[in-house]
Amino acid sequence: MSSFAIFRLPHANHCTLIEGEVQTLSSLTDLNGRQGFVIAPFVVTEETPILLIQDTQKTLPRPLPVREGRNYLSSRHDLNVSTPHPHREGSGEGLYPFSTFHSALLAGHFQKLVLARCAIEPNDGSVEPITLFERACEHYPRMFIALVSTPQSGIWLTATPEVLLESLPQPGMMRTIALAGTMRLHDDELDGEGLHLRWSTKNIQEQRYVASYIADTLKRLGIDYEEEGPRTVRAANLVHLRSDFTFGYDSTHAGNLLKALHPTPAVCGLPKKEAQAFILQNEPTPRQYYSGFMGPLHLPLTTHHSPLATHLYVSLRCMQIEDDCYRLYAGGGLLRDSTFDKEWQETEAKMETMRQIINHQ
């Protein structure tokens, strides 16, 4: 069965379609020298491998107006892909083990931990996935929007602001960002960019952990970089703190850099290896492809100034679309001074990104 990815870059006025056979990979370094649309999980397992959609027709990715993409994909049967999941929990607070994570922080085992949860919304089948993609494009012009379908992953929709690795118009230049810290905009604040808001010490420290990790990783790899930020950036009804890192790098070796970066403390924790193991053991719902990353890798995108472009985004504000339900995922960074109420409300605010397009608000 043919797989596909349809995506729209931030601020673009059209989407791009890639379709073909999907290749499964067991290591991020296997992405070196490859081209296609990447769908990577939070952690690579036999059940959740790295997926690479490659156009079997050897044609260029096709730019399409969003509505043309709707007409094209609505006539296909690939959108009926479904993957069974034995871990279909509800969305109650009992499945949000805040105390377990917070106790580990208070004991000094970790500097930071990211705790995620999954909420289930009913799906009566009346709205096609491509319609949800179109709504996301309309609602979130600043975000990377992608709808992907493969037999291995099922159907996922994401609207994410976080760049993991992307090529820049200048030849040989790339960028990654440290995006962390979250505040919700209310009432009149929604008319602006949130630049006047004051950040708490907790949010500033959380973002600094991510920025320091990226800087240390680039230094360890011998990559010279320039850092700008942090600054406040808006994503839907939320604002975050963002620092940009730009550097020269050969994108044909992107797999090496991705293995070093992913998962960043923005979705995992510190120390990284121990935090990832703790998350896998203690989160009640497997993340699967949430908090992984996806996007075009080293492809000839016609809208980019460079001959080959890479735009890989962390899979946040996302959901898996099943026959009878939507599985929404969200998480937040926990530090020693985190509180249950604030962290729970942060995940609720992040899930609103997908709930708004489900309910067409």
User: Would you list the DSSP string of 8-64?
Assistant: E-TT-SSEEEEEEEEEEESSGGGGTT--EEEEE-SS--SSS-EEEEE-TT-PPPEEE
Distance CA(33)–CA(40), nearest Å, equals: 16
- pLDDT score at 168: 93
Predicted pLDDT at 77: 39
Residue 214 has, within 13 A of its CA and on its CB side, a CA count of 27
Residue 211 is predicted with a pLDDT of: 96
Taking only Cα atoms into account, the Rg of the chain, rounded to an integer number of angstroms, comes to: 19
Say how far apart CA 24 and CA 37 lie, in whole Å: 12
Please give the pLDDT value at position 251.
87
What is the residue-level pLDDT of the chain in tens, covering all 361 positions?
A: 479 999 999 998 889 999 999 999 999 999 999 999 999 999 999 999 999 998 754 444 555 565 555 555 544 434 444 444 433 344 444 478 999 999 999 999 999 999 999 999 999 999 999 999 999 999 999 999 999 999 999 999 999 999 999 999 888 999 999 999 888 887 665 556 666 788 989 999 999 999 999 999 999 999 999 999 899 998 877 888 999 999 999 988 999 999 999 999 999 999 999 999 999 999 999 999 999 999 999 988 765 555 679 999 999 999 999 999 999 999 999 999 999 999 999 999 999 999 999 998 5
**What's the CA gap between 229 and 319, in Å, rounded?**
30
Structure tokens at 239: 């604002």
Residue-level pLDDT at 40 = 98
Give pLDDT, residue 68.
55
* CA–CA dist 320, 155 (Å, integer): 6
What confidence score (pLDDT) does residue 104 get? 98
pTM, rounded to two decimals: 0.90
For 139, phi then psi, to 5°, come to: -75, -35
